[in-house]
Amino acid sequence: MTVTKVGVLGARGKVGTAICEAVRAAEDLELVAEVDHGDPLGMLTDAGAEVVVDFTHPDVVMDNLEFCITHGIHAVVGTTGFTDERLETLRGLLSSHAETGVLVAPNFAIGAILMMRFAVQAARYFPSAEIVELHHPNKADAPSGTAHRTAEMMATARTAAGMGPCPDATSTELEGARGADVGGVRVHSVRVTGLVAHQEVILGTQGETLTIRHDSLDRSSFAPGVLLGVRSISRAPGLTVGLDAFMDL
Amino acid sequence: MTVTKVGVLGARGKVGTAICEAVRAAEDLELVAEVDHGDPLGMLTDAGAEVVVDFTHPDVVMDNLEFCITHGIHAVVGTTGFTDERLETLRGLLSSHAETGVLVAPNFAIGAILMMRFAVQAARYFPSAEIVELHHPNKADAPSGTAHRTAEMMATARTAAGMGPCPDATSTELEGARGADVGGVRVHSVRVTGLVAHQEVILGTQGETLTIRHDSLDRSSFAPGVLLGVRSISRAPGLTVGLDAFMDL
Amino acid sequence: MTVTKVGVLGARGKVGTAICEAVRAAEDLELVAEVDHGDPLGMLTDAGAEVVVDFTHPDVVMDNLEFCITHGIHAVVGTTGFTDERLETLRGLLSSHAETGVLVAPNFAIGAILMMRFAVQAARYFPSAEIVELHHPNKADAPSGTAHRTAEMMATARTAAGMGPCPDATSTELEGARGADVGGVRVHSVRVTGLVAHQEVILGTQGETLTIRHDSLDRSSFAPGVLLGVRSISRAPGLTVGLDAFMDL
Amino acid sequence: MTVTKVGVLGARGKVGTAICEAVRAAEDLELVAEVDHGDPLGMLTDAGAEVVVDFTHPDVVMDNLEFCITHGIHAVVGTTGFTDERLETLRGLLSSHAETGVLVAPNFAIGAILMMRFAVQAARYFPSAEIVELHHPNKADAPSGTAHRTAEMMATARTAAGMGPCPDATSTELEGARGADVGGVRVHSVRVTGLVAHQEVILGTQGETLTIRHDSLDRSSFAPGVLLGVRSISRAPGLTVGLDAFMDL
């Protein structure tokens, strides 16, 4: 078995700590550098890191990535704040390091990625489609970002397939009962103490329904997706956006 | 085994037909009269009916019941339209027939009755409570009558227990996402082709949730409740409102 | 809009009746022939049928298809009993009618097809995978054929991806508690009055689960899939097995 | 508002820490003593504790309770290992301290208690009853203790109501598919990474099903039940077994 040497940037943060632990537990990976705020990036090259995982901050991530790319180290990036302009900058840097790969992904939870993918694939086959997302009551936004994005993507798929609006004979509605309308897909936000983060996509046609549900019970759910990225990135030179590019779907 | 003689009023209607079938299939019951629009009520006395089931029409039900009560026949009534005034009239009629019993119930689906009962019993123990009801898209009202009533009853139980509002930190809401507000209990109405009639009551407290779900997949779901009424009414002289009075809860 | 002329074989059977109804309700389809036991197949050619739907019987389906193929009529077939030998015979017949298409499918319920497809696609990303199928108590086999097939396909996908066995520390088991073992995927069969036909595929990885659930509440659930077949078959000359070939997955 | 003074025994353990936190957060309770292994029990009397919570160890709990009872301090006990003999000893001690109350409970999760209660209440109204329990794969026993106990209690309720066996026409079964048989109630144990502790009781009758589901997502779920015990125990002199005695069900 080939063992890949992995460095982690943001290694002492909450997410970084969990990633270090996951890398340590994987037989085909070796954790060679744990770098955090104040540490020199040279730790990565000194340790011979082949892949770096970056869960840091929008303020420092571009410098981190420039260092990695110019030293031929692949990167798997979960840090937020990637505008189109930043992605373009990365493509520019990568163009002169043809063998280096960078993955930038907004979401590493494999279950969430598959839920969205399947919801979009199925959308064109079901006249009815609604989303119920359920979260703890400390959440500020309703619907959740994931639910909103899922609904938009499903609405786009429905339009592309030439489908009309979801059937709905509601003539008497208590305000809000039918949820929020996102491009014709109704989204309902449940907020209940004891819940973590859950989403259910309900699709229906004559005599049958298909329900795709994702339950995230623990913030560590990004770890398997990060490892999938680490294991895949060396075979994907250039810039990749979204972990699903590495999933055989 | 004692066998009870049962007559059915509205015997050729959709519901009546199903009830006749259920009575016929029960070993401890004998179907002795199938009466419908145009038939003389004397068929019931001629056949020696001990209990009558009435699923007819608000226009005729009071005449039917007067006949039953004055002839000492117990009645199980699913016909709608019972105002307080009508119930008072029944009590008056029954007062001079001390051994006769009449059950008037808005809902005979045992699962629905239990769902509502349990939801109300549990309401005082959970800071959070929401309802998701799911129906076919031909339904005109949102939320459903059952969901609305459940929410009201839960809200009353919460108030009686001195509970404050359900926790909810939502500060950014896409209109309707958080559902309809029924006395502080949020109700969400899903309308999807392929569904029949479903309701989920979700209660949450620290670290745990309790979900009570009722699925009605077939309109015949009233039959077991009607038989429970038929078997219980002879031991319950006077007027009884609601089938739960006969359930040992 | 081009309107396709459709003939139905087995038109007076339960399934055939539902299909006739669905064809009549579709604006882009015209029901031109309703053929059943005893009727001459010439009714199809007389009426100018372009596509024929066959839900008949293993004893007659091969004759029906030979007639259709030799007359250049496309066919969508839900009749059972297709052995490899029969499929080979069909391929032979079709080889001399290059523009004619025949679809043979064991399952036309789109939701069931997608559930299986998604379960297999997801299987390689989740260390844990189990199936719970729930049916009415009159069912003779446990697990259901669909659940058994789903588990087998998931097991194959897991093996292909080099995954080990599902984690399971059970050391004390009451006989049967952990379900049936189908290639390493545990399958649980629930039999409850009031249910129709339901299946839940539960996949889990660190901190998250993905659940894919199919609910079939009504035997009419094959209709949308049959129409999809009817609309697709003219663009698919030769033999196609399985409706998913016509789904853009 | 009267404020009750609370002492916690086992205050530095995992559960004890969570209870201390919950007591501190409650406006009507004051945490006056945090006692753990090695600390003198006199801390409780010095601080004027009115109610003590004991989540310690079977080896020390009886001494703890003797101290509390002889000093007139009420106790809420979650420590395990209470045999009938131990309960009898407690009753003896309490008989000479007429105003002191002790609650011993095997389970403080309100949702779990209600699930079991409702399952038993509903059992007599549904011909079909099965349990699906779902846990993380590190669990050693299948089914879970809670599922086993729930099934036994439901089986007893069914027998008491004169119900026959659950309908089941299974004639071909892959070994284990129909789950474990606990007094005629089938129990299915799902083990999936990412799950915590979940149980679903499924009841069915003609045309409808009732499902009662408990999800425990976090080990802190005992806290609200412990506080309910603390608030109720001073009004319940003598020995009380089971938290449901303090729930108005």
Whether D71 and D45 have beta carbons less than 8 Å apart is answered as yes
Note the pLDDT tens digit of each residue in D172-231.
Answer: 999 999 999 999 999 999 999 999 999 999 999 999 999 999 999 887 889 999 999 999
Report d(CA C210, CA B70) in Å as an integer. Answer: 62
Q: Which domain covers residue A51, as residue numbers?
A: 4-104+220-246
Helix (H, G, I), strand (E, B) or coil at C179: coil
Number of H helices, E strands in chain A: 7, 13
Mean pLDDT, residues B35-43 taken together: 96
Beta partners for A188? A132
Q: Give the CB-side neighbour count of residue A125, counting CA atoms within 13 A.
A: 32
With 90 as the cut, is the pLDDT of residue D6 above it?
yes
With 90 as the cut, is the pLDDT of residue D41 above it?
yes
Note the pLDDT tens digit of each residue in B60-109.
Answer: 999 999 999 999 999 999 998 899 999 999 999 999 999 999 999 988 99
The domain that holds D177 is classified in CATH as 3.30.360.10
Specify whether A231 is located in the same domain as A159: no
Note the pLDDT tens digit of each residue in C118-153.
Answer: 999 999 999 999 999 999 999 999 999 999 999 999
Report d(CA B205, CA B182) in Å as an integer. Answer: 20
Task: Check residue D58 and give its pLDDT.
Answer: 94
For residue B217, give the nearest of C111, C217, C221 by CB distance.
C217
Partners of C134 on chain A (C-beta within 8 Å) are none
Report d(CA D33, CA D42) in Å as an integer. Answer: 10
From C247's Cα to the closest Cα of chain A, the distance in A is 9
Q: Which residue in the block uniquely carries the two structure tokens 């010095």?
A: D46
Mutate to test the interface with B, among C195, C198, C215 (most CBs of B within 10 A): C215
For residue B217, give the nearest of C111, C196, C221 by CB distance.
C196
| Touching B: A residues 93-132, CB under 8 Å | 126-130, 132
Task: Check residue C239 and give its pLDDT.
Answer: 97
For residue C208, give the nearest of A111, A122, A207 by CB distance.
A111
Beta partners for A133? A189, A199
Task: Check residue B84 and give its pLDDT.
Answer: 94
- CA neighbor of C109 nearest in space, from C225, C21, C213: C225
| CB-CB neighbours of D139 under 10 Å | 19
Judge: A208–C219 Cβ closer than 8 Å, yes or no. Answer: no
Question: By CA distance, what is C197's nearest residue in A?
Answer: A208
Q: Global pTM?
A: 0.91
Residues in binding site of B for NAD(+): 10-15, 78-80, 105-108
With 90 as the cut, is the pLDDT of residue D127 above it?
yes
Specify whether B45 is located in the same domain as B131: no
Q: Give the CB-side neighbour count of residue D99, counting CA atoms within 13 A.
A: 5
Specify whether A80 is located in the same domain as A49: yes
Confidence band of C49 (pLDDT split at 50, 70, 90):
very high
Confidence band of B248 (pLDDT split at 50, 70, 90):
confident
CA distances from D82 to B167, D89, D90, D105, D240 (A): 37, 10, 10, 9, 13
Report d(CA C113, CA C225) in Å as an integer. Answer: 10
Question: A105: annotated binding-site residue?
Answer: yes
Among A6-10, A205-209, C109-113, D1-5, the minimum mean pLDDT is found in: D1-5
Is C5 an active-site residue? no
With 80 as the cut, is the pLDDT of residue A1 above it?
no
With 80 as the cut, is the pLDDT of residue A51 above it?
yes
Residue D42 structure tokens: 């006199």
Whether B101 and B233 have beta carbons less than 8 Å apart is answered as yes
Number of domains in chain C: 2
Task: Check residue C219 and give its pLDDT.
Answer: 76
SS3 track for C20-84: HHHHHHCCCEEEEEEECCCCCCHHHHHCCCCEEEECCCHHHHHHHHHHHHHCCCEEEECCCCCCH
Specify whether C180 is located in the same domain as C228: no
Helix (H, G, I), strand (E, B) or coil at D31: strand
Task: Check residue A129 and give its pLDDT.
Answer: 98
Helix (H, G, I), strand (E, B) or coil at D108: coil
Specify whether B127 is located in the same domain as B77: no
From B27's Cα to the closest Cα of chain D, the distance in A is 14
Task: Check residue B245 and give its pLDDT.
Answer: 93
Note the pLDDT tens digit of each residue in A174-196.
Answer: 999 999 999 999 999 999 999 99
Judge: B247–D125 Cβ closer than 8 Å, yes or no. Answer: yes
Confidence band of A246 (pLDDT split at 50, 70, 90):
very high
Report d(CA C147, CA C132) in Å as an integer. Answer: 8
Specify whether D200 is located in the same domain as D164: yes
Residues in binding site of C: 10-15, 78-80, 105-108, 136, 145-146
Task: Check residue A5 and give its pLDDT.
Answer: 98
Specify whether C114 is located in the same domain as C209: yes
CA distances from A237 to A47, A70, A95, A98, C56 (A): 22, 14, 10, 7, 55
ipTM of the complex: 0.89
Q: Is A190 on the interface with D (CB under 8 A)?
A: no
Judge: B169–A140 Cβ closer than 8 Å, yes or no. Answer: yes
With 80 as the cut, is the pLDDT of residue C207 above it?
yes
Mean pLDDT, residues C180-204 taken together: 98
With 90 as the cut, is the pLDDT of residue D1 above it?
no
Q: Which residue in the block uniquely carries the two structure tokens 């398997």?
A: A224
Confidence band of B10 (pLDDT split at 50, 70, 90):
very high
Report d(CA B215, CA B136) in Å as an integer. Answer: 12
Note the pLDDT tens digit of each residue in D69-122.
Answer: 999 999 999 998 899 999 999 999 999 999 999 999 988 999 999 999 999 999
Report d(CA C36, CA D134) in Å as an integer. Answer: 49
Confidence band of A115 (pLDDT split at 50, 70, 90):
very high
Helix (H, G, I), strand (E, B) or coil at D50: coil
From D109's Cα to the closest Cα of chain A, the distance in A is 12
Mean pLDDT, residues C88-101 taken together: 96
From C213's Cα to the closest Cα of chain B, the distance in A is 14
User: Regarding beta strands B208-216 and D208-216, do their DSSP bridges make them parallel or antiparallel, or are they unpaired?
Assistant: antiparallel
Whether D150 and D116 have beta carbons less than 8 Å apart is answered as yes
Judge: C189–D172 Cβ closer than 8 Å, yes or no. Answer: no
| Ordered alpha helix ranges (H), chain D | 14-25, 42-46, 58-70, 84-95, 110-123, 145-160, 223-232
Specify whether C91 is located in the same domain as C159: no
CA distances from D146 to A236, D133, D140, D143, D185 (A): 49, 9, 14, 8, 14
**Helix, strand, coil percentages in chain C from 3-state DSSP, rounded to 5:** 35, 30, 35
- Mean pLDDT for all residues in chain C: 96
Task: Check residue A238 and give its pLDDT.
Answer: 97
- CA neighbor of D76 nearest in space, from D86, D88, D85, D64: D64
Judge: D169–C193 Cβ closer than 8 Å, yes or no. Answer: no
With 90 as the cut, is the pLDDT of residue A73 above it?
yes
Q: How far is it between the farthest Cα atoms of chain C?
A: 69
Beta partners for C131? C187, C201
Specify whether C211 is located in the same domain as C224: no
Q: What percent of chain C has pLDDT over 90?
A: 94
The domain that holds D39 is classified in CATH as 3.40.50.720
Mean pLDDT, residues B221-244 taken together: 95
Question: D145: annotated binding-site residue?
Answer: yes
With 90 as the cut, is the pLDDT of residue C192 above it?
yes
Specify whether C141 is located in the same domain as C210: yes
Report d(CA A120, CA A156) in Å as an integer. Answer: 9
Q: What does the buried/exposed string (b/e) look like for B29-67 if buried means 16 or more CB atoms within 10 Å of the residue's CB? A: bbbbbbbeeeeebebbbebebbbbbbbbeeeebbebbeb
Specify whether B162 is located in the same domain as B118: yes
- Mean pLDDT for all residues in chain A: 96
Partners of A118 on chain C (C-beta within 8 Å) are 114, 118, 121-122, 212
Specify whether D168 is located in the same domain as D232: no
Beta partners for B131? B187, B201
Q: What does the buried/exposed string (b/e) look like for D63-97 if buried means 16 or more CB atoms within 10 Å of the residue's CB? A: ebbebbbeeebbbbbbbeebeeeeeeebeebbeeb
